[in-house]
């Protein structure tokens, strides 16, 4: 049996090129998702407290939305991809569900919790504080 070294080299080169293409898409595709401009944030918060205001709110002020975008960038969080919390595991913890609308028409969803994934504790805390501030500004009684 005769082995054609040329075909083996070609196969190895093709596999290498495919691996590089996948790596390129993962690296630069994710970067583009993280850099997408957010146009608005629709959110509601929940806490197991009697009469807690769990109404839906919208934040579409560009300066305010930019504050959240800054947090995403600072903590390397990509909405719809990075899992910062699955559930709130604290008794009495505060959770926030967020839908992001992008300028390009796309959307993504996120769940934040005061007791979420330990690697994202600081992000969850700062983002939760920001959404709480916006909720209270829009409904001072809540």
Q: What is the CATH number of the domain that holds 108?
A: 3.30.350
* Class of residue 113 by CB neighbours under 10 A (exposed 0-12, middle 13-18, buried 19+): buried
Q: Is residue 31 domain-shared with residue 41, that is, in the same domain?
A: no
Question: With pLDDT > 90 as the criterion, what percentage of the chain qualifies?
Answer: 53
Same domain for 129 and 59: yes
20 with 74, same domain: the answer is: no
Both 64 and 121 in a single domain? yes
36: left (phi over 0), alpha (psi -120 to 50) or beta: beta
Q: Which residue has the higher pLDDT, 141 or 14?
A: 141
* CA proximity to 134, closest of 32, 25, 49, 43: 43
> Is 91 found in the same domain as 69?
yes
User: Domain range spanning residue 3?
Assistant: 1-35
Is residue 13 located within the same domain as residue 76?
A: no
Whether residues 30 and 41 fall in one domain? no
Of 40 and 13, the structure prediction assigns the larger pLDDT to: 40
pLDDT in tens, 14-67: 554 444 443 333 444 444 455 799 999 999 999 988 899 999 999 999 999 999
Question: Based on the domain organization, do 26 and 50 belong to the same domain?
Answer: no
If asked whether residues 70 and 5 sit together in one domain, one would say no
Based on the domain organization, do 60 and 31 belong to the same domain?
A: no
Q: Count the domains in the chain.
A: 2
Give how far the C-alpha of residue 68 lies from the chain's centroid of Cα atoms, to the nearest Å. 10
The mean of the pLDDT values for the chain is 81
64-68, 86-90, 97-101, 130-134 — which is least confidently predicted?
86-90
- Indicate if 88 and 63 belong to the same structural domain: yes
pTM equals: 0.72
- The residue-averaged pLDDT of 115-124 equals 83
Query: Same domain for 28 and 49?
Result: no
Handedness of CA 107, 79, 25, 102 (dihedral sign): positive
């Amino acid at each position: 049996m005769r082995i054609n070294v040329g075909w083996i080299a070609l196969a190895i080169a093709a596999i290498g090129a495919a691996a590089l293409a996948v790596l390129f898409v993962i690296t630069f595709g994710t970067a583009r998702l993280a850099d997408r401009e957010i146009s608005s944030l629709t959110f509601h918060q929940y806490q197991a407290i009697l009469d807690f205001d769990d109404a839906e709110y919208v934040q579409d002020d560009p300066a305010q939305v930019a504050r959240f975008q800054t947090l995403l960038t600072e903590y390397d969080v990509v909405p719809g991809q990075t899992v910062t919390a699955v559930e709130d595991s604290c008794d009495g913890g505060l959770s926030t569900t967020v839908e992001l609308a992008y300028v390009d028409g796309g959307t993504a969803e996120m769940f934040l919790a005061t007791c979420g994934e330990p690697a994202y504790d600081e992000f969850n805390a700062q983002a939760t504080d920001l959404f709480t501030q916006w909720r209270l500004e829009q409904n001072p009684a809540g």
